[in-house]
Amino acid sequence: DRGNSYYFPLSVEPMFPEALSNGLCSLRPHLPRLAMVVDTPYSLDGRPGSPRLYSAVIRSAARLTYTQVQQALDGDPDQTTRPLLPMLEQARELALLFMQLRAERGCLDFDIPEAAVTLDQGVVRVGTTTRLFSHRLIEEFMIAANERVAEYLGGRQRVFPYRIHPQPDERKLEGLLGMLAHTAVADRLPRTTDQAGLQQLSRAVHGTDLEYLVNRLILRTMMQAQYSPDNDGHYGLASEAYCHFTSPIRRYADLLVHRSLKRLVAGQAESMEPEALHAICEGMNACERKAMEAEREIQKRAAILALEDRVGEEMRGVISGVADFGFWVELLDIPADGLVRLATLDDYYVYDPERQDLLGQRTGRTFAMGQTLTVILEHVSLERVEINFILP
């Protein structure tokens, strides 16, 4: 009962059997592979024309890594990328146009680093990935392909799963700005909570210690993206119609889109009833939530393993949450957070839920969202999935 592949820090559980996911359906240089093509002309200012969608047999010219492509675009191509450089440079130009157009229409791009877990001679290490422009280049082309397919199928009244992202609750966004009004970014807050305002807020914290936290807080106000037989648009991408098409070997939704598209291209009638698709979408959404929960817990456990030998060390972090029993601190050097309990502090603190802070009654000391501070790693528990800090 799996709706997608599971990606864990040190392993992958594919949706399909290995013979398909790593064999027949996996790109290999110079080997023929079946594919669906979204052939779209673009104007010089990045506007799409009418796409042609069709089946094809392709042969990959080379297997390129993101680092390899980035080095080529930065002026240091190797023997493999040098003959491909004109194509890569043209791809960069088009991707930059896509990024500009998406930003203009209100797309939200928070660039939150993902956790990277490595195992080095039995020692678990946790860090963050570096997002290169080459990553964004491929992301832009995948988004464009997904949009064209959704428009194409939707315009022909086909039955397929849209990827929708509802608008966030206005009260949550106002609450976020109210909370940030008591932080170091108070003078840079936007006046509106629309997409332009959220873009402004993200730019205001770019390059600061608060960038990761504020972008995470914005994401918490967002509704979760989901699959639906009805097109309600995608708020985060500012797309009027969106679906998942580019990964049919690792997401079941993409496979359904491919089936619908293949039947359309072949001139065949739709094979799925809307009622059946509704039930399938609910199942895929449940599977996706389950996968996300599992991935988060494993990342937290990996962070605990990486911190086991650092108990007693001082660390820098940012307060990422406040409650009447303590506050959470997000570490700056690794993607992990833990709790400082009020019981470990040397004063009586009163919690203000509106300001999201704690005020010491004797010392007047305040702990508030977004505050940078030094903590000591007091205790970690793999059994309880828990990280605890104390103050120096």
Residue that terminates a domain, selected from 150, 181, 216: 216
276 is a domain residue: yes
- Same-domain check for residues 140 and 237: yes
Q: Determine how β-strand 337-341 pairs with β-strand 386-390.
A: parallel
- Same-domain check for residues 182 and 69: no
- Residue 259 C-alpha from the chain's centroid: 26
Q: What is the largest CA-CA distance in the chain?
A: 77
- Same-domain check for residues 49 and 149: yes
CA–CA gap between residue 132 and residue 228 (Å, rounded): 32
Domain with 386, as residue range(s), is 312-390
- Same-domain check for residues 212 and 296: no
139 is a domain residue: yes
| pLDDT given for residue 283 in this prediction | 94
Residue 323, C-beta contacts closer than 8 angstroms, at least 6 positions apart: 351
Tens-level pLDDT at each residue, the chain (392 residues): 667 787 776 778 888 888 888 888 889 999 999 999 999 999 999 999 999 999 999 999 889 999 999 999 999 999 999 999 999 999 999 999 999 999 999 999 887 777 788 777 667 888 888 899 999 999 999 999 999 999 999 999 999 999 999 999 988 888 888 888 877 778 888 888 889 899 998 888 888 877 878 888 888 899 999 999 999 999 999 999 999 999 999 999 999 999 999 999 999 988 889 999 999 999 999 999 988 888 888 889 999 999 999 999 999 999 999 999 999 999 988 889 999 999 999 999 999 988 889 999 999 999 998 889 999 999 999 999 999 999 99
Closest CA to 370 of 325, 329, 314: 329
1 is a domain residue: no
> For the purposes of burial, counting CB atoms within 10 Å of the CB of 371, is it exposed (0-12), middle (13-18) or buried (19 or more)?
buried
Rg of the chain (C-alpha set): 24
- Same-domain check for residues 262 and 321: no
- Same-domain check for residues 161 and 176: no
Structure tokens at 242: 């969106």
- Same-domain check for residues 254 and 160: yes
CA 29, 144, 261: angle at the middle one, nearest 5? 75
Contact of 345 with 359, CB cutoff 8 Å: no
CA–CA gap between residue 90 and residue 138 (Å, rounded): 13
Contact of 247 with 27, CB cutoff 8 Å: no
- Same-domain check for residues 112 and 135: yes
CATH number at 382 reads 2.40.50.140
| pLDDT given for residue 42 in this prediction | 94
| pLDDT given for residue 1 in this prediction | 62
| pLDDT given for residue 208 in this prediction | 80
Structure tokens at 330: 């997000």
Contact of 167 with 101, CB cutoff 8 Å: no
CA–CA gap between residue 115 and residue 303 (Å, rounded): 9
- Same-domain check for residues 92 and 203: no
- Same-domain check for residues 249 and 282: yes
CA–CA gap between residue 219 and residue 199 (Å, rounded): 12
- Residue 125 C-alpha from the chain's centroid: 21
Q: How many domains does the chain have?
A: 3
